[in-house]
Structure 1
Amino acid sequence: MNTISKLTIAGVLSLGLFTAQSCVQDDDYATPPIECNLPSPNISLADLVSKVTAGSIKLDANKAIAEDLIVQAYVISSDETGNFFKTISLQDKVENPTTGIQIEIDGSNLYNSYPLGAQVQINLKGLIVANDRGVMKIGSVDPQYTVGRIPSAVMSTYMVKTCEAIQTIKPKVVSSLTDALKPENLNTLVTIEGVQFSDPDGDKTYGVSGATVNRVIVDKKGKETDLLNSGYATWYADVLPKKSGSITVVVSRYNSTYQVFIRDTKDVKFDQPRFDVGGGQNPGGGNDTEAANLLFKGSDFNVWADFLSSINSFGLVKDTYATSGVGVGRDNTNALLLKGTPKANDYVFTTIVNNTIPAAPKKITFYVKGTSGKSLSLNVYKSDKKYVVYNVGDLSNANVSLSPIDANQYTGKIDTKGEWVLVTLNIEGVDIQKTAGENIFALKVGKDEAYDLVIDNIKID
């Protein structure tokens, strides 16, 4: 562990630590604090994140900060009820923050030293600051991890609570999950209005003993996200509210997938009647609602064996980039995961007719989430055993409707910004194959570019 060695910084900070510990002897934070004489911060949280991202901060041989940098921020999470574990989320302002960050600490009961609303000062020299699986974090040097946990025994060497009075953090208020789940809101406190639990009757409680579980929240437009709840939280066995309302969360992300955390069930204020998602059309419904018209058996990918049994004699692509994505589907069940760099313009799979095909179908739809350097090409087979081609092209976080083109193409890039995007293939007027056992649908990828996509719920209407 690289500790503070510069006399000028260490001396001032040590004085600050001594004063900080002596200026408030108890936890009566309402008492006006006295001056703690801490050194002034010399970098903002926003500048820190920007410079780390750009690689413009001097690092030592261990990739730790080599400069005497001091940053100041406010505590917005708490491990008091057990839903946060060995981590604290910080944001740069009490209200309307611009930047948030997470600090890793190998200790418990952190709320005693760093309570909600406290202003803290962090001396960054010797610490790691890096993006770890989608979230910017501060931590220690640990060869096993991108960002390690700072040992609690030396934590006060790096982070101290200032003597500023405890503040009431004012969450940013938004009216949809789309507005909440944005990069600028990571590790900040956000209140989302007009949401409800997707399946309170089925899930029953916030969590289960001893394990972290996801409980899906959904907004009025059908957008969903996971609320992560620890089985060690004091409230894990509390019954999920069945009404709708607002929820105050710390926004987080795992790789490209957004997720949220509450500090306590007091953050959940569901006191309004439940609403019909998407005006009753349920565009954000999960596998249970979307599986009514599956194009082929297993096209919701929940049962991998069903999917494999629907593929023609050529089988699944021999390369290993196409696998079962366990738990990454639209309702936390399973999906098709494409993760790797294809060496050829591969047919990932071609499926046969083994489900009932409507007499005059108008569209085939499926959901996509993730990124890829090239796009997807889809083949829909006709009764004459020839096929029509659809190229997804450039795909962002907006739903698309596609018409046939002349040949397979892989031009375009995909980046759904961590959201599920609905892709619709217009097959109205296509004499689609209906004979059992004949080819009906194929998915192709382009070569020599990385794919990190999740595909779910291929259906026909």
Structure 2
Amino acid sequence: MNTISKLTIAGVLSLGLFTAQSCVQDDDYATPPIECNLPSPNISLADLVSKVTAGSIKLDANKAIAEDLIIQAYVISSDETGNFYKTISLQDKVENPTTGIQIEIDGSNLYNSYPLGAQVQINLKGLIVANDRGVMKIGSVDPQYTVGRIPSAVMSTYMVKTCEAIQTIKPKVVSSLTDALKPENLNTLVTIEGVQFSDPDGDKTYGVSGTTVNRVIVDKKGKETDLRNSGYATWYADVLPKKSGSITVVVSRYNSTYQVFIRDTNDVKFDQPRFDVGGGQNPGGGNNSEAANLLFKGSDFNVWADFLSSINSFGLVKDTYATSGVGVGRDNTNALLLKGTPKANDYVFTTIVNNTIPATPKKITFYVKGTSGKSLSLNVYKSDKKYVVYNVGDLSNSNVSLSPIDANQYTGKIDTKGEWVLVTLNIEGVDIQKTAGENIFALKVGKDEAYDLVIDNIKID
């Protein structure tokens, strides 16, 4: 009887110790910090981002949060395989999130403390919350950086894992890169269907040892983005799949250029046949991939000053219908906006040679979106300083390839149905101008009809 009593007491004490340990943070940082008796969050992640953007949160002298603000969110990234480095991406809901954010931590093996699907609570007082190169981040005060990394030794002071059970994050599912690469999807988990690697035969593997590389993925409409892969990821040497299918990514951005990350290769499910991009044409990618072959400096229109510096002495058309379209370009970057009714058959601009022109280029391409009562005419200058003419004519939501004609014309109407349309100028056999400072390309519009067009990424190949 005495023995039974002793065993019973020991069992109760053991159970009590287990229960206490399950909800008390251990001093070992590698042990997941778990808290049960937490204060209620007093601001949503969406409200936090909105107020930081508006500048309506009280800050201290170091520009850190000076209010007792607490948020809750879910972990959607992992550094277990090495593709995420000293950072965790968080979103506000298990499914159908409205907002994501990135937290910077000066530590490794963060997945041990903050595993995928964990709910975490963050006390923001004393931390920096700011937009850093296109992404909203949480971090520490560091004079060298907009957002510094929180030292791992004090991390549990700010962020703890709650007692909520690990959740299975349900990615938002979209059918194109255009739908994935949007501001509301930053630092959230998204599954993109109908994509493939652009050049699996040339790239061969996901990565290269010791460095981070881009592997371009493309959808059926020709939209491209960079998949960023670390050379320290455990799977960097795995062979790229050659088929198409779906990919689950954390959406990110570097300045104005979108990019995506996978946690590991289980996020890539390419089990369908490859598809022909753009119905047999390959319209190319977003601003990042276009930038390698710009016809002239600033022809992606991201930096308006670069574009203006590429125009000849006549300058931009004096009328006010040609302006910088901030945020209306491909990948939500900048573009050339034509909005108004020209009073003449205007040269909107004529640009000079100030970029490298290929020895034997075959095409000039650019993108158009919008409507106009008349069409566009393009002049491509030759080495003899004369030019050949290309008229766009009627343009709907299908890509077009144009050959030279005799004279500028503006007949035809444009209505791309809200889609980006690729216009290709066939310049094979054209002795294109290559002398620096000489005219190379001009865009013209017709008079007395309304234009509401966005033009982006003028490229030569």
Same fold (TM over 0.5): yes
Distance in 2, Cα, partners of 1:139 & 1:409: 57
The answer on whether the counterparts of 2:29 and 2:153 sit within 8 Å (CA) in structure 1 is no
The answer on whether the counterparts of 2:371 and 2:415 sit within 8 Å (CA) in structure 1 is yes
CA shift at 1:22, angstroms?
3.9
Change (3 A) 1:41 1:194: same
Change (3 A) 1:153 1:414: farther
Distance in 1, Cα, partners of 2:340 & 2:214: 27
CA shift at 1:188, angstroms?
0.3
The answer on whether the counterparts of 1:321 and 1:338 sit within 8 Å (CA) in structure 2 is yes
* CA deviation profile, 1:396-422 (whole Å, cap 9, x unmatched): 999999999999999999999999985
The answer on whether the counterparts of 1:30 and 1:165 sit within 8 Å (CA) in structure 2 is no
Change (3 A) 1:16 1:306: farther
The unaligned stretches of length 5 or more in structure 1 are: none
SS in 2 for 1:235: coil
Change (3 A) 1:167 1:348: same
* CA deviation profile, 1:69-90 (whole Å, cap 9, x unmatched): 0000000000000000000000
CA shift at 1:365, angstroms?
3.1
**CA RMSD in angstroms, aligned pairs only:** 11.4
SS in 1 for 2:274: coil
The answer on whether the counterparts of 1:246 and 1:268 sit within 8 Å (CA) in structure 2 is yes
SS in 1 for 2:308: helix
Higher mean displacement: 263-272 or 17-26: 17-26
Distance in 2, Cα, partners of 1:244 & 1:224: 14
CA shift at 1:271, angstroms?
0.7
CA shift at 1:23, angstroms?
2.0
Counterpart in 1 of 2:118?
A: 118
Higher mean displacement: 1-10 or 82-91: 1-10
The answer on whether the counterparts of 1:105 and 1:139 sit within 8 Å (CA) in structure 2 is yes
The answer on whether the counterparts of 2:32 and 2:114 sit within 8 Å (CA) in structure 1 is no
Higher mean displacement: 108-117 or 336-345: 336-345
Higher mean displacement: 117-126 or 271-280: 271-280
Number of corresponding residues: 461
The answer on whether the counterparts of 1:128 and 1:138 sit within 8 Å (CA) in structure 2 is yes
The answer on whether the counterparts of 2:364 and 2:459 sit within 8 Å (CA) in structure 1 is yes
SS in 1 for 2:50: helix
Provide the TM-score with structure 2 as the length reference. 0.66
The answer on whether the counterparts of 1:4 and 1:157 sit within 8 Å (CA) in structure 2 is no
The answer on whether the counterparts of 2:176 and 2:193 sit within 8 Å (CA) in structure 1 is yes
SS in 2 for 1:3: helix
Change (3 A) 1:73 1:308: closer
The answer on whether the counterparts of 2:31 and 2:112 sit within 8 Å (CA) in structure 1 is no
The answer on whether the counterparts of 2:257 and 2:288 sit within 8 Å (CA) in structure 1 is no
Distance in 1, Cα, partners of 2:423 & 2:316: 22
* CA deviation profile, 1:238-284 (whole Å, cap 9, x unmatched): 00011111100000001111000000100101111111111112223
* CA deviation profile, 1:358-377 (whole Å, cap 9, x unmatched): 99999953369999999999
Distance in 2, Cα, partners of 1:23 & 1:158: 17
Change (3 A) 1:373 1:117: farther
Counterpart in 2 of 1:59?
A: 59
Distance in 2, Cα, partners of 1:61 & 1:157: 21
The answer on whether the counterparts of 1:17 and 1:160 sit within 8 Å (CA) in structure 2 is no
Distance in 2, Cα, partners of 1:15 & 1:268: 43
Higher mean displacement: 31-40 or 293-302: 293-302
Change (3 A) 1:48 1:326: closer
Higher mean displacement: 436-445 or 412-421: 412-421
Change (3 A) 1:249 1:395: farther
Higher mean displacement: 51-60 or 388-397: 388-397
Quote the sequence identity (%): 98
Provide the TM-score with structure 1 as the length reference. 0.66
The answer on whether the counterparts of 2:103 and 2:137 sit within 8 Å (CA) in structure 1 is yes
SS in 2 for 1:379: strand
Distance in 2, Cα, partners of 1:389 & 1:440: 12
Change (3 A) 1:307 1:98: closer
The answer on whether the counterparts of 2:257 and 2:333 sit within 8 Å (CA) in structure 1 is no
The answer on whether the counterparts of 1:19 and 1:37 sit within 8 Å (CA) in structure 2 is no
Change (3 A) 1:26 1:393: farther
The answer on whether the counterparts of 1:388 and 1:405 sit within 8 Å (CA) in structure 2 is yes
Change (3 A) 1:246 1:393: same
Higher mean displacement: 1-10 or 206-215: 1-10
CA shift at 1:303, angstroms?
21
Change (3 A) 1:17 1:364: farther
Distance in 2, Cα, partners of 1:7 & 1:283: 75
Distance in 2, Cα, partners of 1:208 & 1:359: 31
Change (3 A) 1:135 1:153: same
Change (3 A) 1:391 1:226: same
Distance in 2, Cα, partners of 1:4 & 1:246: 60
SS in 1 for 2:64: coil
Change (3 A) 1:47 1:11: farther
Change (3 A) 1:413 1:115: farther
CA shift at 1:291, angstroms?
13
The answer on whether the counterparts of 1:87 and 1:102 sit within 8 Å (CA) in structure 2 is yes
The answer on whether the counterparts of 2:32 and 2:112 sit within 8 Å (CA) in structure 1 is no
The answer on whether the counterparts of 1:176 and 1:194 sit within 8 Å (CA) in structure 2 is yes
Change (3 A) 1:454 1:11: farther
The unaligned stretches of length 5 or more in structure 2 are: none
